[in-house]
Amino acid sequence: MDITIDQLKKVYGTKVALDIDHYTIRHGEIIGLVGNNGAGKTTLFRLMLDLLKADNGFVRIGETEVSSSEAWKETTGAYLDESFLIDYLTPEEYFYFVGRMCNLNRQTVDERLAVYERFMNDEILGQKKLIRNLSAGNKQKIGILAALLNQPELIILDEPFNFLDPSSQSALKQLLVAYNQSTGATILVSSHNLNHTTDISTRIALLEHGKLIRDLDNSDGSAGNELETYFAV
């Protein structure tokens, strides 16, 4: 299922937050989205998830414009920020709640989470703590795992390495690449960490001031140097 972005524009007052003429993401790609603060990364993800109304243009997932149908939600998993969580629930309650929305029983939820034991590192399940009392890193992990629960064909993660310790960052990279390879899913990840981005991405999109200024093939890991040079200036 390809994703098509066409003439997509979002403006706040006089500020152009995003202005992309055309961009296509092919099914199975891992796209790394990089760009300095305020470049438009989160705005792009919010438009892709129909959390924002575009001033012009559209995002299509497969044949469906995201703003005109809900069907794509069944095959899309996303975690952008803490607003995706329900902070008065325990992690288990939250996962079961998300599971129920996807018609997954508790046993299936438990089985699917068990695969990510290393990533959870004994700090998520069985803690008898509400999500609001967990560390920023563990909240981030809960959001990412909830996004994966329904085994989506498309995963969108905004700065998923934020707040994670180095071991968890490494575990997340392995987890995402393994998920992509075993399911053929498309994954979009924004990050300020160029090394992590180049480690996992097959293609890298560089956004600045709302414009897509580079579309770099990284299937052979070659985009790193160009990115280092660009950001060093």
Ligand X SMILES: Nc1ncnc2c1ncn2[C@@H]1O[C@H](COP(=O)(O)OP(=O)(O)OP(=O)(O)O)[C@@H](O)[C@H]1O
List contacts with ligand X (CB under 6 A). Answer: 12, 15, 17, 35, 37-43
Q: Which is nearer to ligand X, 16 or 125 (CB)?
A: 16
DSSP string, 12-34: ETTEEEEEEEEEEE-TT-EEEEE
Q: How far is the CB of 16 from ligand X (least distance, A)?
A: 8
Per DSSP, what are the bridge partners of residue 204?
32, 216
Q: Which is nearer to ligand X, 37 or 103 (CB)?
A: 37
Q: Which is nearer to ligand X, 28 or 38 (CB)?
A: 38
Q: How far is the CB of 15 from ligand X (least distance, A)?
A: 5
**The pair of three-digit structure tokens given for residue 188, joined into one six-digit string:** 């979009």
Residue 65, classed as helix, strand or coil, is: strand
Q: How far is the CB of 144 from ligand X (least distance, A)?
A: 17
Q: Which is nearer to ligand X, 43 or 169 (CB)?
A: 43
Q: Which is nearer to ligand X, 12 or 88 (CB)?
A: 12
Q: How far is the CB of 157 from ligand X (least distance, A)?
A: 13
Task: Decide: residue 77, CB within 10 A, 0-12 exposed, 13-18 middle, 19+ buried.
Answer: buried
Q: Which is nearer to ligand X, 42 or 198 (CB)?
A: 42
Q: How far is the CB of 191 from ligand X (least distance, A)?
A: 9
The crossing angle, in degrees rounded to 10, of helices 106-114 and 91-101 is 120
Does residue 93 contact residue 107 with C-beta atoms inside 8 Å?
no
Q: How far is the CB of 39 from ligand X (least distance, A)?
A: 4
Does residue 140 contact residue 134 with C-beta atoms inside 8 Å?
no
Closest by CA position to 46, among listed 74, 8, 14: 8
Distance CA 71, CA 83 (A): 22
Distance CA 125, CA 116 (A): 11
